[in-house]
Amino acid sequence: MSAPQHSVPRICAGPRWAALLDTLGEAEDALAEALTDDELANGWSEPLRAAMLESVARNRRELLADPTRDELLEGWTDGEEIDPGAEDPRRDATLGPDLAASNLANAEQVLIETRRLAESIQSPARDADREHGMTDEVRTALRGCLATIERRLEAGEYLDGADVEAWVVLLDSVGFTRHPPATSTQLNRAVDEGGQIAQYPRGRCWEGVCIYDAGLARLANADIG
């Protein structure tokens, strides 16, 4: 019996991981400088700056020591006291780690769901699912798309437009339809919120595919835009 996997497969390689560490470093550098009069007027204080600097430096240090810890950012101190409408490069630099951590966490969740869906369609489909298009050929094609997405996520890479488009085209070919996208973007059928699935074939297998597609689309929207 293989050893059970960690509940969250930590992605600690590739550009996603590098983005988290880089933004932490950038925030640490930004917080190291003394505050200006304008920043003090916008809601900053020296105790807040010191607390945020400690939070940033500690999280970067601990992530380097233990990348697999459960929480990406522990005891995170944000700057909610700071005027959000003011032009503030220092505050902007402190937003980077939270955004990078959210993106990494979303990718880890999609990786879990990718593996789960691939496993669920590994066995031959039931007759009822076959009647609604879940043939052996379609199962093979789905597993191929999922394997490509899994490899990319495991490597810590951002989703590639061609990989997501291959998934979208495959679903189109078996009867999935999407709401008209609100904008015209590179992969608007997949990554635009207006391109969510409107209709899909009947059957439990296809329902699982539809649910997976929603999470994949959210991550693709962040990665590809």
Q: What is the pLDDT of residues 149-184, one digit of tens each?
A: 999 999 999 999 998 999 999 998 988 888 765 544
Nearest 5°: CA angle at 19, between 18 and 25? 90
User: Does residue 45 register a pLDDT over 50?
Assistant: yes
Span 114-152, pLDDT tens digits: 999 999 998 776 777 777 778 889 999 999 999 999 999
- How far is C-alpha 17 from the geometric centre of its chain's CA atoms? 12
Label residue 185 by pLDDT band (50, 70, 90): very low
Q: 12 near 101, Cβ under 8 Å?
A: no
**Cα–Cα distance measured from residue 73 to residue 95, given in angstroms and rounded to the nearest whole number:** 12
Q: What's the pLDDT at 109?
A: 95
Q: Which of 84-98, 142-156, 191-205 has the lowest mean pLDDT?
A: 191-205
What is the chain's mean pLDDT, rounded?
Answer: 87
Q: What's the pLDDT at 8?
A: 64
User: Does residue 191 register a pLDDT over 50?
Assistant: no
Q: What's the pLDDT at 26?
A: 98
What is the mean predicted confidence (pLDDT) over 71-75? 92
Q: 34 near 48, Cβ under 8 Å?
A: no
If one counts every other C-beta atom within 10 angstroms of the C-beta of residue 153, the result is: 24
Q: 153 near 110, Cβ under 8 Å?
A: yes
Label residue 7 by pLDDT band (50, 70, 90): low
Count Cα neighbours of 222 within 13 Å in the Cβ-side half-sphere.
18
Burial of 173 per CB tally in 10 Å (0-12, 13-18, 19+): exposed
- How far is C-alpha 127 from the geometric centre of its chain's CA atoms? 35
What is the mean predicted confidence (pLDDT) over 11-35? 96
Q: What's the pLDDT at 115?
A: 95
Nearest 5°: CA angle at 147, between 142 and 150? 125
Model pTM score: 0.86
**Cα–Cα distance measured from residue 77 to residue 79, given in angstroms and rounded to the nearest whole number:** 7
Q: What's the pLDDT at 1?
A: 29
Nearest Cα neighbor of 167 from 137, 197, 148, 145 is: 145
Beta bridge partners of 177: 199
**Cα–Cα distance measured from residue 102 to residue 21, given in angstroms and rounded to the nearest whole number:** 13
Radius of gyration over alpha carbons of the chain, in Å?
21
Q: 56 near 24, Cβ under 8 Å?
A: yes
Q: 114 near 153, Cβ under 8 Å?
A: yes
DSSP state of 144: H
